Amino acid sequence: MRRRDVLTTLRRLALTLVVALGWALRSSPVGAAPSLAGQVREGNATLDDWQVEDAKAAAERLLVAAPDEPSVWLLAARVQHARGEHLAALSLADAARDAGEQEALAVLPLIEASAPYGAHFATLETPHFRVRYLNKDEIVARYAAPVLEAAYARIGAALEFLVAERGEKVVVEIYPDARGLAGATGLTIKEIETSGTIAVCKFHRLMITSPLATADGYGWADTLAHEFTHLVISKKSHNTVPIWLHEGIAKYFESTWRGEPGGALAPYSEKLLADAVRTHKFVTYQQMHPSMAKLASQDEAALAFAEVFTTIEYIVREHGRTAVPRLLDLLAGGTSMDQALRKVTGKTLAELERAWHKYLATRPFREVAGAKPKPIRLASNESKGDEARPLEDMKDREAHDRARLGELLQLRGHHAAAVVEYEKAYARAGVAYASLAYRLARAYADTKRDSEALGVLDKALIAFPDDNDCHLLAGRLRLAQRDLAGATREFEAVRLENPFNPEVHAALRALYEARGDAAAAAEEARFFELAKQPRPTRQYELPPPRAGSARLDLICAPFADVQLDGRDTFAAPYFGIAVEPGEHRLTLGGANTSEKKVTVSAGQSLRVLVSRP
């Protein structure tokens, strides 16, 4: 996709000027072409090792020393892409391609896929993160802020590595649909739907799909913590960790943001793993490569996660909590996997795998009757009310028929009669079906039998801890009983899955007011209004091209936002900014704000160096 116009030709023909704006920053010449090429290769390798701070420093230095070198532009483009500055990355990669840099062709599709979203993202800043979102996803962004900061502190401490210790904040992008996530990560929609992949850590960014794009939300908070753990692993190890170990560490430590490590294995995953132990049918480490997202089904992915989770669980139990950070340090230093494992565990990978299988043979499993996963289904998330939830098909024919009859009676308002039929179905099926448990509990509630309703819901939530309808009904019942702490717990559980349900925000507002937290109550009141808004359906596009027969290329060292004429802001370095001929004012943002005027003639391509004193 080409967005160059006649200015591309003008750039090649026009005199390139480097204007020192009072912020002039000069460094010694890089040297001969081979030396420059070697430095560019080193900068790219550093970025591939997820050391974005060092790669950024290299790109800043090289841009000042060799401002006309397309390979340097491409390095800068990759750094800006990693930092979430997609429009700047696109301008630089386009320039590199147009100048004949063939490697730009491999980079451009991913940048082009993210740039239309990046052009419209709003940003929420926290001490260590930049959370980028669109429209109603402000709710997710604001709920995510404390989750991310807790993950930063606790997971960073557990793995003995602080990601943003040099001031480069981690970018988190909330994409409004699966298409956005697919384009940004290089996955396909089919791979996302098949594996249930809803988030990815890649290119030094955390990228998730909005809960608004799913049928009933998903565990976005644990998902963010999981992806952040991947970032810690990649940076600490210099990207030397195989996928099975990556996913095992991330799964084991993801719960650390809210408690202890090792708390993320769901009942259904334990059931799958127990079945695999009995049948000796496992997903191999080799099958997990190159990504869990490429496994054949959501069940296969769930089993794979359970396997690698328990591998790390075994290592930690046998060798202590420092075993994992020690292993990552050894891999970062160039030690082979077998050598690193032997130093930490006394075993090679093959020996470790055999020991893990023996561990599984004696490990107790929570085999919760009826436990099932919450499937992630991509769909509109507009609430239709919990009454619209259909009953699941049941294997037991009598249970199925009784439940259907109860449903018909319930829909007609015959709640006492519905209780009778649901109880008969429940006696045969137990908690194997969340929809049956939920409907029985509702029928109990409709007949003023709240304690019995809560008893059914509490059992159902052991097997289906992510069931929003059960949490919602339990929240209503506990609120009616003036169990404010219990009601808060239930509604907060829903917002960690589906934060777009207005009822949740109305309830939490009242609960926070009751406990005297006026600020939290006011925020929930605003979220209530946001949640009621229609779901945005717009297609995100690049902004229209600027008018002007002249052109500015901004080279910034260090990289920073530069404002043009007090209006448009560009994340410099940024190439190909069309302007009208004449005088323009450039303002370098940040703590040491500075301004300088520059004049450009019609048809001229002017390259401007912007740097701090």
In a domain, residue 539? The reply is: no
What are the tens digits of pLDDT across the range 584-609?
999 987 656 778 899 999 999 999 99
Which residue has better confidence, 370 or 15?
370
- Choose one of 491, 508, 532: the last residue of a domain: 532
Mean pLDDT for the stretch of residues 318-337: 97
- Choose one of 347, 362, 377: the last residue of a domain: 362
The β-bridge partners of 131 are 124, 172
Burial 221-237 (b: 16+ CB within 10 A, else e): bbbbbbbbbbbbbbbbb
3-state secondary structure string across 2-26: CCCCHHHHHHHHCCCCEEECCCCCC
- Given a cut of 50, is residue 367 above it in pLDDT? yes
Mean pLDDT for the stretch of residues 531-557: 91
Mean pLDDT for the stretch of residues 164-183: 90
pLDDT of residue 28: 37
Residues 486 and 585 in one domain: no
Q: In this predicted structure, which of 41-50, 216-225, 328-337, 375-384 has the lowest mean pLDDT?
A: 375-384
Rounded mean pLDDT of the chain?
90
pLDDT of residue 613: 63
Q: In this predicted structure, which of 45-54, 162-171, 197-206 has the lowest mean pLDDT?
A: 162-171
Q: How far separated are the first and last CA of the chain, in Å rounded?
A: 38
In a domain, residue 76? The reply is: yes
Q: Which of 210, 217, 218 is nearest to 172 (CA)?
A: 210
Cα dist from 502 to 253, 472, 494, whole Å: 32, 12, 11
Q: Please report which helix (H) or strand (E) contains residue 129, including its range.
A: strand 129-133
Structurally, the chain folds into a number of domains equal to 3
In a domain, residue 326? The reply is: yes
Mean pLDDT for the stretch of residues 382-405: 79
3-state secondary structure string across 382-412: CCCCHHHCCCCCCCCHHHHHHHHHHHHHHHC
Residues 204 and 243 in one domain: yes
Residues 259 and 296 in one domain: yes
3-state DSSP call for residue 312? helix
What are the tens digits of pLDDT across the range 90-133?
999 999 999 999 999 999 999 999 999 999 999 999 999 999 99
In a domain, residue 329? The reply is: yes
Residues 449 and 336 in one domain: no
* Cβ atoms of 89 and 111 closer than 8 Å: yes
- Given a cut of 60, is residue 20 above it in pLDDT? no
pLDDT band per the 50, 70, 90 thresholds, residue 241: very high
- How many CB atoms neighbour CB 387 within 10 A? 10
In a domain, residue 367? The reply is: no
- The span from the CA of 338 to the CA of 260, in Å, is 29
Residues 318 and 232 in one domain: yes
- Choose one of 532, 562, 588: the last residue of a domain: 532
Mean pLDDT for the stretch of residues 9-25: 33
- Given a cut of 90, is residue 400 above it in pLDDT? yes
Q: Which of 581, 559, 577 is nearest to 568 (CA)?
A: 577
Residues 175 and 313 in one domain: yes
Q: Which of 75, 29, 73, 26 is nearest to 55 (CA)?
A: 75
Q: Which domain holds residue 182?
A: 122-362
Residues 563 and 509 in one domain: no
Q: What is the percentage of the chain residues whose pLDDT exceeds 90?
A: 77
| CATH assignment of the domain containing 183 | 1.10.390.10
- Indicate if the alpha-carbon torsion angle 555, 560, 565, 568 is positive or negative: positive
Token duo for residue 413? 């308002």
pLDDT band per the 50, 70, 90 thresholds, residue 40: very high
In a domain, residue 541? The reply is: no
pTM confidence score: 0.89
- Given a cut of 60, is residue 9 above it in pLDDT? no
Mean pLDDT for the stretch of residues 221-229: 97
Name, in order, each residue with C-beta under 8 angstroms of 394's C-beta and a sequence gap of 6 or more.
Answer: 400, 403, 425, 429, 432, 433, 436
- Given a cut of 50, is residue 348 above it in pLDDT? yes
pLDDT of residue 1: 41
Residues 103 and 136 in one domain: no
Residues 83 and 147 in one domain: no
- The span from the CA of 573 to the CA of 221, in Å, is 34
Residues 247 and 168 in one domain: yes
pLDDT of residue 376: 78
Burial 22-38 (b: 16+ CB within 10 A, else e): ebebeeeebeeeeebee
In a domain, residue 140? The reply is: yes
Residues 501 and 396 in one domain: yes
Residues 424 and 565 in one domain: no
| CATH assignment of the domain containing 62 | 1.25.40.10
pLDDT of residue 590: 61
In a domain, residue 606? The reply is: yes
